[in-house]
Each structure stands twice: as C-alpha cells, then as structure tokens.
Amino acid sequence: MSQKILIVIFVFLSGCATNRNLGPIPTDPAEFKLPIASLKSSYPELETYNRDNVFVGYCTPVNQLKKAWGEPNEIQTVWLQVPIVAVPFAFAGTGGVIAVGIGYSMYPAQPKHYIWRKGDYEIDAYISTEIGCGYEPRLWNWQWKQVTNP
C-alpha cells in the first residue's frame, strides 16, 4: 500500500511542472564581464532559475540554453538518483522490483550538470529528464559563480 502512495506522490510531483520558454539571458561576451548585480537587474531569468529556489519546476528545454550559449564546456552526471530511486523500493518486499521499474520509467536518465564558462562566470545548470516534462531534458536550476575578481 505504501508503495502505491509513493508512486502516486512521484507522479503528482512530476506533473507539477509547466512549460516555459527561457526568457532573455546574456549572450554578448562583454556582458559576462559585468558584476552579477548588473546581470540580475538586466536579466530577471537569472533569478527565476536560481539554485536557491529549491523547486523551480518549469519545463524549459535545455536546447534553448545550447542555442544561446553553444555546447557546455563540461557535462557531469549526477549518480545520486540511482540509490534514491532504487534502494527504498528494493527493500519493499516482492513489489520492490516492480516499484523500481516504475521509478526508473518516471526518471529514466540520470540528472546532469551542464557547465558553461563564459567570461568571468562559471554557470552550472542542473538538467533533469523525467515524465513530467515529456522526457525532454530540461533546465531545473542554475548557479552563477564569479570565477575572477571584478
């Protein structure tokens, strides 16, 4: 019974996502030399997807970022999803294998960190793929870190 409740919760949480196009973001190389406060005042999108907003929940395709900035400089896979999805269900008795299968069908790909290095910044975008956004890789959130002194 508790497995069914967990599955329903995961489905509803995934369904909370809404489609949203990425708004204006900096693209000019000179803009990536500006202080973060200037960028945030000119580009509200920086705050919209800020990692401090724990749950963003928009279905913003990562391809929109790639179109604006090109391919990321680095991609890192987040392997934490494997034990988070598998371990609790694996110990749930005979239904554990089925529950793990359902969990992985909802979240089939490991999340990734797409990292762009632009001017004075390193932008770490957390990319997720799940049922709630039609299995399209999407921007979950990002962190802008200034890597040089202004």
Query: In angstroms, what CA-CA distances link 71 with 49, 62, 65, 82, 115?
Result: 19, 10, 9, 26, 9
pTM of the predicted structure, to 2 decimals: 0.75
Condensed to tens digits (0 to 9), the pLDDT of residues 100-111 reads: 666 666 666 788
Q: Return the pLDDT at 53.
A: 72
Element (H, E) at 95: none
Cα(103)–Cα(20) distance, integer angstroms = 25
User: Highest mean pLDDT range out of 5-9, 50-54, 61-65, 75-79?
Assistant: 61-65
What would you measure as the largest C-alpha separation in the chain, in angstroms? 59
Q: Return the pLDDT at 15.
A: 47
Tokens of 101: 């299968």
Condensed to tens digits (0 to 9), the pLDDT of residues 38-51 reads: 999 999 999 999 88
Cα(145)–Cα(61) distance, integer angstroms = 22
